[in-house]
Structure 1
Amino acid sequence: MLFLKTTSVTKAPGIYEVDIAAKPPGKTFGVYMATDPDNPPTAVLQALAAGGFQQTHSSGYTHKDRGKVLDLHFQKDGTDLFKGWKPEEAEANMAIINKIFTDIGVTVTPRVMSLAEAYA
């Protein structure tokens, strides 16, 4: 679950927060979004699917400010060891992610999770 301060502000229609993160060692990134279940970001979800990203997690909850939230996680398998991304796959997949979010005005900053965060 993403740390979400409020549901009164969105980064884009239907999207409260976006995190592009990888478990250590940081070669294969996932897309983590906190979305508005009553106003889903359909175009983004379709673009992720078209880019080969598969939804791996979906969990709804009510935020402390009473707004509804749907956490969604997406992954894309690579051809490296343990389905990781090879360098050329990482470059292509990150270009897809950047285009999807840049097209809706959201700047993403990929990061590598801490060990505690990745395996909590």
Structure 2
Amino acid sequence: MLFLKSTTVTKAPGIYEVDVAAKPPGKTFGVFMATDPDNPPNAVLAALAELGFESVHQQNYVHRDKGKVLDMHFQKDGTDLFKGWKAEECTSNLAALDALFGNVGIKITPRVMSLAEAYA
């Protein structure tokens, strides 16, 4: 679940927050989004599906400021060991995500999670 400060401001229509993160060692990234369930970012969700990212988790909750949130996690299998991404897959997938979110005005910064965060 992403840490949201508020649901009064969106980064793009229907999107409160986006995190592109990988568990250590950091070759295969997932997309974590906090969205507005009453105003879903359908174009972004469709584009993620076209890129091969599949929804692996969804959870609705009410933020402390009373706004509704749908927390969504997406992943894409690769061709490396344990369905991970090879180096060239990582490069092309991150470039595609950067373009997708850049088109809606969101700058992504891919990161590697800490061990505590990844396995909590």
| TM-score, structure 1 as length reference | 0.99
Alpha-carbon deviations, 1:33-54, whole Å to 9, x = none? 0000000000000000000000
Residue in 1 aligned with 2:106?
Answer: 106
Equivalent pairs: percent with the same residue?
A: 72
Residue 95 of structure 2 corresponds to 95
CA distance in 2, matches of 1:10, 1:29: 23
Q: Deviations over 1:15-73 (max 9, x none)?
A: 00000000000000000000000000000000000000000000000000000000000
The alignment of Structure 1 onto Structure 2 pairs a total of residues equal to 120
- CA distance in 1 between counterparts of 2:112 and 2:87 reads 16
Give unmatched runs, 5+ long, in structure 2: none
What is the match of residue 25 of structure 1?
25
- RMSD over aligned CA atoms reads 0.4
CA distance in 1, matches of 2:92, 2:54: 16
Q: Which runs of 5+ in 1 are unaligned?
A: none
Partner Cα separation in structure 2 for residue 105 and residue 8 of structure 1: 17
Matches within 5 A, 1:16-95: 16-95=16-95
CA distance in 1, matches of 2:38, 2:27: 34
* Cα distance in 2 for residues equivalent to 1:39 and 1:100: 19
Do residues 10 (structure 1) and 10 (structure 2) align? yes
- Give runs of ≥4 in structure 1 deviating > 6 Å: none
